[in-house]
A and B are shown apart, each in its own frame.
Chain A
Amino acid sequence: MTEDAANTATEADSAKAEPPADAIPAKAELPIAAFDMPLLRIDGVAKRFGAVRAVDRLSLDIRRGEFFALLGPSGCGKTTLLRMLAGFETPDEGAILLGGDDIAQVLPHQRPVNMMFQNYALFPHLSVRDNIAFGLKRARMPRAEIATRVAEMVALVRLEGLEKRKPDQLSGGQRQRVALARSLARRPEILLLDEPLAALDKKLRESTQVELMELQRRLGMTFIIVTHDQEEAMTMADRIGVMDQGRLEQVATPRKLYEAPNSRWVAEFVGDINMLEGEVGPGDAGRLAIATKDAGTIVAAAPPDPVKQALVFVAIRPEKVKLSRRGPASDTAGTHTINRLEGIVIEVSYLGGFTTYKVKLDSGAVLKSSMANTARLDVDAYSVTQRVVAWFTPDDCVVLEQ
């Protein structure tokens, strides 16, 4: 690691340590002047396997010290993208620039990149310790230093006492942790993690997440992580890229991705959502009145870009939909109009921290609502067949055109 990287890392640290007083302390929205030039530039990269377009003209910039998460359905090309970054596949089109240099011709072992394989790829003939030390020995690190580093990695992934075992004497989760430790040990400039925590139990996964983030910040490394766990991506990543069929659908901070998805597909892929189709009617300043088939006219905040189509979708996250017996005290909260929809509760799922309800509107459409269980003995809980009012403000709605 250069001193530069270390400095930027501490800068980022201190910046992250003091969240701004106002509402949204989103990580990547902090001033990051030092990260101006991207460390990694993926420029129109494409990879085809026969007729399958695994990666389809994808462009992406990754900043130094960034924690980037790739999210997407199975088979959308995440692993293929990582393999191109590591040097195991050559792009059919486009260029990959590392620190400004094209690395198309650089062989895997010469790239300052390490990868944790989705299937772990542990060396079966080597012990846990030697698996972790493998890359360090190749880097001609002094023996004593290797021992310290291996011990550190073993402690990080909680594998103390298993150092002498062979991979086939470990459980799936333990193997995954060895693979993680092995890829981390060399402290590469860029670490590619292909579903690194999928096989761990919740507790261990959460503690490893925290330790990975801590390590990444401390060493100023750049992480690109593939995960199926949206919560994991949101917890760890500065930015998330949502992929589908080889293309990036949206790249944004976790909050933006969740609260301001740029398409129906992203909105439905990330988290849960209510989607209402409707036609744009006349609206006043910053508001759109949308005539929906299922829920009458809904007043929604106008998106930043003017709406061009007549047919749009109104997306509302379930937790933004509040339920009450009589609806909100007044039909306007401040200057805001409030959307009220009446219906009957048809399903209640108690999930501990919150409860989800399905409300069948009079039109027959079903609206999902999720409410935090803030009181232990919640007398306000609604029951099936109860008639309720579901309400949400125009700002809770996202208007999507595609």
Chain B
Amino acid sequence: MVSATSKISRFNVASLALGLGFLYLPIVILVIYSFNASRLVTVWGGWSLVWYREFFHDEAMIEAAWMSFRVAASSATIATLLGTLAAVALSRGERFKGRTLFSGMLYAPLVMPEVITGLSLLLLFVALDAERGFWTVTIAHTTLTMCFVAVVVQSRLGSLDRSLEEAAMDLGCDPARAFVAVTLPLILPAIIAGWMLAFTLSLDDLVIASFTTGPGSATLPIRIYSEVRLGVKPEINAICTMVIGLIAVVIVVASFASKLSSAQGESAAPL
């Protein structure tokens, strides 16, 4: 009995280590090399923060990072709003004709090649004679990421018992109130997850951004890509390490937020 369980747990530990190693070894190497003192990417020259200092003096790079961050935050927020509304309408609204078509259309951009999305958006912006820059990239990223948000929120709504809203109405809530008091707290984790997904998708998008951005407003991936074409600088490792750090912080904060929202639900729920 004891040996059986320990065998199983040893197997589990081994497979966990293998899986995590496969996922994280490249990242760990990247993080370690970001502290490399050597100018050559593949040669270890001792510990140093020189490439971080380099980044903070590289104004073009900082500007690109700031641009990326702003685009990611605003497009994720807009996408979360629109995506949630779409999901609610599709799973809670009255059954209307062509509803299946609509929800199918919502999924289509998920599988659409990014080049096509980027190109069509570029054509649209050119046709509208819109000045390309922060807003065009933000709008482009919103169209890309809102489908992801809608899918995440819709699946959560689908698994939610309809009778919960009915119970809320039975106990004196009008339909809008029932949604806010019962449905919203229950789909909040999905909304937060959707926002995070949208944020990270926007942060690492290269293709759509390069189609829709204009001169002087490059995002971080565009900037990094153009630098790398001239040869990999260890500075890139430092930037990537910081991006990884940022994403880790977002995930930690978001998971705390969702835990907090479910723990506080009882007193915080707007009744």
Contact = CB atoms under 8 A, between A and B. Distances in A.
A134 B265 CA distance: 12
A88 B269 contact: no
Nearest to A133: B271
Interface string B155-183: 00000010110111111111101100110
A376 interface: no
Given A125-B185, A126-B266, A126-B269, A135 B172 contact: yes
Interface stretch (A68-76, A109-117, A202-210): A109-117
Nearest to B169: A108
Nearest to A129: B266
Interface in B244-264: 262
Interface residues of A, number: 28
A114 B171 CA distance: 7
A30 to B, nearest CB: 32
Contact of A124 (B178, B186, B271): B186
Nearest to A188: B170
A139 B265 contact: no
Contacts of B169: 87-88, 107-109
Nearest to B185: A125
Interface residues of B, number: 25
B174 A109 contact: yes
Contact of B172 (A109, A115, A122): A109
A107 B168 contact: no
A401 interface: no
Interface SS of B by simple majority: helix
Interface of A: 86-88, 107-109, 113-115, 117, 119, 121-127, 129-130, 134-135, 137-139, 182-183, 186
A138 B269 CA distance: 12
A123 B161 contact: no
Contacts of B172: 109, 135, 138-139, 186
A88 B171 CA distance: 13
A186 to B, nearest CB: 7
Among B169, B170, B175, which residue has the most Cβ atoms of chain A within 10 A?
B170
Given A125-B186, A126-B265, A117 B167 contact: yes
A107 B271 contact: no
B171 A135 contact: yes
Contacts of A134: 168, 171, 181, 271
Among B167, B168, B172, B182, which residue has the most Cβ atoms of chain A within 10 A?
B167
Given A121-B161, A134-B271, A138-B271, A127 B170 contact: no
A138 B186 contact: no
Contacts of B178: 109
A114 B173 contact: no
B170 A119 contact: no
Interface in B165-217: 166-175, 177-178, 181-182, 185-186
A150 to B, nearest CB: 13
Contacts of B171: 109, 114, 134-135, 138, 182, 186
A121 B186 contact: no
Contacts of B185: 125
Contacts of A108: 166, 169-170
Given A107-B174, A127-B266, A134-B271, 12 more contacts: A86-B166, A87-B169, A107-B169, A109-B171, A109-B177, A113-B170, A123-B164, A123-B168, A126-B265, A138-B172, A182-B171, A183-B170
B163 A117 contact: yes
22 contacts: A88-B170, A107-B174, A107-B175, A108-B169, A109-B172, A109-B173, A114-B170, A114-B171, A115-B170, A117-B163, A117-B166, A121-B166, A121-B167, A123-B164, A126-B266, A129-B266, A130-B266, A134-B171, A134-B181, A137-B271, A138-B173, A182-B167
A125 B269 contact: yes
Nearest to A135: B171
A139 B173 CA distance: 9
Nearest to B262: A125
B271 A88 contact: no
A117 B169 CA distance: 12
B174 to A, nearest CB: 5
A77 to B, nearest CB: 17
B265 A125 contact: yes
Contacts of A183: 170
Among B168, B172, B177, which residue has the most Cβ atoms of chain A within 10 A?
B172
Among A88, A113, A127, which residue has the most Cβ atoms of chain B within 10 A?
A88
A119 B160 CA distance: 13
A183 B182 CA distance: 16
A123 B167 contact: yes
B247 to A, nearest CB: 28
B163 A121 contact: yes
A88 B166 CA distance: 7
B178 to A, nearest CB: 8
Contacts of A186: 171-172
Contacts of B262: 125
8 tightest CB-CB pairs across the interface, nearest first? A135-B171, A138-B172, A125-B265, A121-B167, A121-B163, A137-B271, A108-B169, A130-B266
